[in-house]
Amino acid sequence: MKVAVVGATGLVGTRMLEVLSERNFPVTELYPVASEKSVGRKITFKGREWTVVSADDAIAARPDVALFSAGAGASRELAPKFAAAGCRVVDNSSFWRMDPTKKLVVPEINGDVIGKDDMIIANPNCSTIQMLMPLAPLHKAYRIKRIVVSTYQSVTGTGYKALNQMEAERAGKKWGEYTAVYPYPIDENILPHIDVFLENGYTKEEMKMVNETHKILRDDTIAVSPTTVRVPVKGGHSESVNLEFEKDFDLAEVRRLISDMPGCTVQDDPEHNVYPMPLFAWGKDDVFVGRIRRDPSVKYGLNLWCVADNLRKGAATNAVQIAEHLIKKGFLPAE
């Protein structure tokens, strides 16, 4: 199979290559695509050197599938060109997610929505993916009325430049002595500000969680109240999630439903200090769920804490899983 990775030299793009290799995705020809300044650079994939090419060269090669992680602008311009060349596109940017003609997919939850005519498929926001993984089976069982979620998102969600900012601050550099991507220092600080603020007072990141939840779960009646926060953690997003259901529930059954969800691992033994943490989720594909407990302040209320590697299940792994799903459905060659 001919596979293009657009944005191959970025944080998510490099993870996509790692995941493709780890999962033995059937790559026969690889087309790593990056900006003009990176064209000609060599990367290693499965023990072989590959040359970074331009988008035009990759399109001319007519790949079977392209995994995109090069930002909304590149996706807006290039995804239709790849699709017109007969290439299935899995896009990790925000550009196509809420387009009513495009599917927004977490394979374990709604992979069934993908059809043979879907040439551009959107990968959801990292914070939405990890929240909905444990919530999807609970919604089926008890019907979620309301979600209140607070996120604790790592700097790798912003990219290499944000990681460099935090490391410069930890090295003792003063504000103005390094390139900053955040409006304030991030080391030893917390920013209740991810993406741009909108007229309603929420950030774009927060509204992504609202809108994408409705689209993925196919239920616009769920009330979602999000606050998204950037924390000085290298990798791994954490979320505090408060739920209100229409029906009563049993805690043991809740734990079983989450445990039975493919891609979810319950870590919930507070007596022995067992709970999810980004330090131990880093580099793993599962969403880890713990601190599962009733909310005594509301009827049929539940609290939980979930953690995931934002570059893997929150981005690269989910994209590769979508491509794997396309193979299972017969929309991509199996080899």
Angle (CA) 310-202-91 rounded to 5° is 40
Cα–Cα distance between 150 and 89 in angstroms, integer? 31
Cα–Cα distance between 227 and 300 in angstroms, integer? 22
> Residues near 298 by Cβ (< 8 Å), separated by ≥ 6?
244
Cα–Cα distance between 203 and 10 in angstroms, integer? 24
Fill in the DSSP letter of residue 122.
Answer: E
Catalytic site residues? 126, 237
Query: 289 to each of 50, 157, 189, 292, how far by Cα in Å?
Result: 38, 20, 25, 8
End-to-end alpha carbon distance in the chain: 6
Q: Which structure tokens are listed for 11?
A: 């944080």
What does residue 330 show for φ and ψ, rounded to 5 degrees?
85, 15
Q: Which structure tokens are listed for 241?
A: 């999630």
Q: Which structure tokens are listed for 129?
A: 């993916």
Torsion of CA 203, 228, 280, 108, to 10 degrees: -70
